[in-house]
Amino acid sequence: MQNTASRKQLMESPWKPFLKENILNPYPMYQELREKDPIHKTRTGEWVITQYEDAKAILKEDLFKVGNRAEWLSKASTQHMDKWESFSVIVDALKSFVVFKNPPDHTLLRKFIMQAWNDREVDQIINENIESIFSGIDTTNFDLATELATPLPAMTMTRILGLPMDDYLYLEDLSHKMIRSLDLYLTFRQIEKMEKATKEFIEYFERHATQKLSKPDNSLLSRLIHLYKETHQIPHHELIANCFFLFIAGEETTAGLIELGLYHLIAQKKLNPDLRDSQLRASATEELLRYDSPTQIVVRMASENYELRDRIIKAGDPLTICLGAANRDPNKFEKPDELVLTRNPNHHLAFATGIHRCLGDWLAKKEFEVLTGKLVTRFSSFALLDQPVWKENLNMRSLQSLHVSFK
């Protein structure tokens, strides 16, 4: 009997992304995969990649395409037409997002966005938002996740895009609904909510883009819509979709970085006056991004057969690339499970790499660095009042709540 049990255990895949314990702490599962089967083929047919060099090679190789989720949803809505009322709005939006586009469209769209988004003077906006948040909370007892980490990036993106500040909570809510489109497992109700949120996003951004046309200002939305008017380089619906994509992308992951980053700094007693030094703050930010990456997983689809070491990845095969596992690979990082704020070099993959590398990485880091600098200047003691509550999502790691006290 024992023999049968152990054989079964051997055959059992360590990749169990649906188990709560793995969602709350995926690192032991990653380690097992990285050591035993780093190019792992799951029973559902996708490849799970956990070593640094493999992840990097795949992300840099153009034959691996993005857009799996949009394809999947689109296939579902055509194959199950009778049951699938209509989820065409979310499918079209996902297909328009720069992050899910392949060359040559991707090249053009990304260039278009970068051309409009050339203003990196955001320190003042961030500072004002932090002050505004602090003026409304009791810093000796508050929820860092919902009262600081979530509103700061949402307010910052609202300001950068040039939208009315009062709207940030509304936009944040739509964003939370849409980000679920990246979850590994979806429910029908979630897709319904995503569809509705997408419609509202489109309506909202159409309205504000029109206003910026008649009343131009220096905001990102205004610059995007005017660049569109002058060049017509991209279709109008793609322009609108990417306006709210920028909001979502700038909000969700940055909130994750602030939550995870500050949690680890406080828990490991590393949030202290040393971090007044901007150089240390910069390397600490990189290290926190490596140590517990907000974006844990990105997916790709092979467009041709590809030889990855001794394995053949066939055209059409989906790949799940675990950035969080690559960032803890001992072949790349010494003592990978330790948080070493001075780590240098630190070529982590938290923002991915290759043509789809995050285009707002500088903004996320800036928000975290400005905030941390302010905290260690203003307060001298930081305490956790409770254990953190994690959001149960493997792809995007973040907190539901984190009760803290700053004095």
Question: Which residues contact residue 282 at a Cβ distance below 8 angstroms, ignoring those fewer than 6 apart?
Answer: 365, 369
If the CB atoms of residues 84 and 134 are measured against another protein, the closer one turns out to be 84
Question: Is 43 a residue that touches another protein (CB under 8 A)?
Answer: yes
Map residues 170-189 to x or -, x wherever contact with another protein holds by CB under 8 A: -------------x-xxxxx
If the CB atoms of residues 44 and 214 are measured against another protein, the closer one turns out to be 44
Q: Which of residues 86-125 bind another protein (CB under 8 A)?
A: none
CB of 19 to another protein, least distance (A): 7
Question: Is 18 a residue that touches another protein (CB under 8 A)?
Answer: yes
If the CB atoms of residues 8 and 43 are measured against another protein, the closer one turns out to be 43
If the CB atoms of residues 23 and 352 are measured against another protein, the closer one turns out to be 23
Residue pair 184/395 in contact by the 8 Å Cβ criterion:
yes
Residue pair 55/322 in contact by the 8 Å Cβ criterion:
yes
Question: Is 8 a residue that touches another protein (CB under 8 A)?
Answer: no
Question: Is 273 a residue that touches another protein (CB under 8 A)?
Answer: no
SS3 138: coil
Question: Is 72 a residue that touches another protein (CB under 8 A)?
Answer: yes
Q: Report the candidate in 315, 317, 316 with the shortest Cα–Cα distance to residue 304.
A: 315
Q: Which helix (H) or strand (E) holds 18?
A: none
Residue pair 263/388 in contact by the 8 Å Cβ criterion:
yes
If the CB atoms of residues 75 and 407 are measured against another protein, the closer one turns out to be 75
C-beta neighbour count of 309 within 10 angstroms: 10
C-beta neighbour count of 190 within 10 angstroms: 14
Question: Is 83 a residue that touches another protein (CB under 8 A)?
Answer: yes
Amino acid at 374: K
Q: What gap in Å lies between CA 39 and CA 325, rounded to an integer?
A: 12
Question: Is 76 a residue that touches another protein (CB under 8 A)?
Answer: yes
If the CB atoms of residues 368 and 390 are measured against another protein, the closer one turns out to be 390
Percent helix, strand and coil across the chain, each rounded to 5? 55, 10, 35
Question: Is 191 a residue that touches another protein (CB under 8 A)?
Answer: yes
Question: Site residues (CB under 8 A) for another protein?
Answer: 16, 18-20, 23, 43-44, 72, 75-76, 79-80, 83, 183, 185-189, 191
